[in-house]
Chains A and B, each alone.
Chain A
Amino acid sequence: MSLEDLKKELEEIVEPSSVHTRDYDRNGCLLEIRAERSRLLSIAQAARDAGFFLEFITAVDFTEGPIAVYQFNECNAVSRIQVKVQLARGESLPSIGRVYDAALWYEREVFDLFGIRFDNHPDLRRLLLPEDADFHPLLKEYGKVHAFRSAREIYVDQDA
């Protein structure tokens, strides 16, 4: 299934206004979806049915709370899509591990480094850090960082 078909399908799952077309030369991806956390599983399922694979899951820490970033891609042509979910601090995400097996480790990594919990994850242990670690290193409050900003400051020109 092509990116256009998936886009139409996604516009039924989320509000059409939260599906943004991106410039490949400027962002490296073609489609960006600002989603609610409750829609995540349906989006992942649609991507899986369309033959996309999960490229990675990560998060970026902001003052208003972390943004989780999911990236899907397809093998035949450049059709990279990013799904961004703004979370409040301490909020959890639904696990998409039963749609994509690859997500199981990525979710463990995000839990490990950012402390974001994933509901219904079968085995949410730390992945990279030792089991008895009591910190989440990629949060901006930890260690030496240059800046701790609000998401609106960084994605200023992208919300149009």
Chain B
Amino acid sequence: MKEFLEGSRAVAEAVKLCKPGVISAYPITPQTHIVEELASMVADGQLKSQFINVESEHSAASVVLGGVAAGVRSYTASSSQGLLLMGEVIFNIAGMRLPLVLTCANRAVSAPINIWNDQQDSISLRDAGWIQLYAENIQEAADFHFIGYRLSEDKSIMLPVMVCMDGFILTHGMETVDIPEQEKVDKFLPAYKPLYKLDPAEPLSMGLLADPEYYQETRYAIQETFKDVLKMLPKVSKEFNVVFSRDYKDLLVEEYLTKDAEKVIVAMGSVCGTIKEAVDEQRKKGKKVGLLKIISYRPFPYNRVYEALKNAKKIAILDKSVSLGAYAPIAVELKAAFSGKKKVPVISSFVAGLGGRDITLDSIREIFRKLNQKEVTLEFIDLKPELLREEYGE
């Protein structure tokens, strides 16, 4: 049923339809509305969940770890500082191969403290072994939760999923969203059947010590499983389309007018909506431009990205995060995708929107213009030079 909803509410409705048995979260802007909505649903009896108010994000993640280890589908959400605080638990959950869905309301990372959107928080945990899906709009944000559980709990995958949605932009923005009926969700997402769980009827030990004789293979196993995830995402997308009549193609990328494009911008998240508008504008002027939207950041779809961009002449990557002291996170993956290939386009890397700085149509037009110039190794867009003249010391 189509409703005009705040993004957080849409996500809460989606989570409610997934029927998690244990929900635990700690408040942090801009995730708060999601969790408040869920608390409300539990209080009204709409959602029969154990709602555990914890004393920190580290404990929130630990509670849901315990919940899913005991065989019950669980859910949590966080952002920025909270996500980083639960950092070691994040690694723990993936390492223990426990299925889970976590909503990351993308927010900039302290210091300086900043509550507005960029993607630094989830990007900083890219090595943890979580599947990371980035939503462009609220419909995607909601849908990726059904997809997340379906993927995560698959016995051949058993890896946790982080659904990333830009804080404020998507969490507090409002869009018309289709919230499906429970029967449809039940058809797509069956009840969680644990591969292993804590149960006195069948005792087992989880979280053992692995010395050098055993550790490496567990990491290799996750790396190999990510290859399976690349194959499974398109399958799950097809199943999703059959039930919900929404086609996410291969759930790896979205090609927006890239087939004959000479210039393509590569980006992730809500900024893709703005870029699509800019692309339409340029196309009206007869310019052959396009957008490649990355949906699955982990596993990164190197082959798919190469196939989509191999005929482009100039590529601009727009990162909403940095890897300080090195190239930008998505730019690095793009360069890797073209490594060793015969024909390599001009690949320019741009960083924008940090700390919630607005990325406007003008910013995107500027990027298209810059693509006419030399290849850019790494450039920050929309910097304020007057701020850079402040000096300390003396």
| Genuine A/B complex | no
Please report B residues at the A interface, Cβ cutoff 8 Å: none
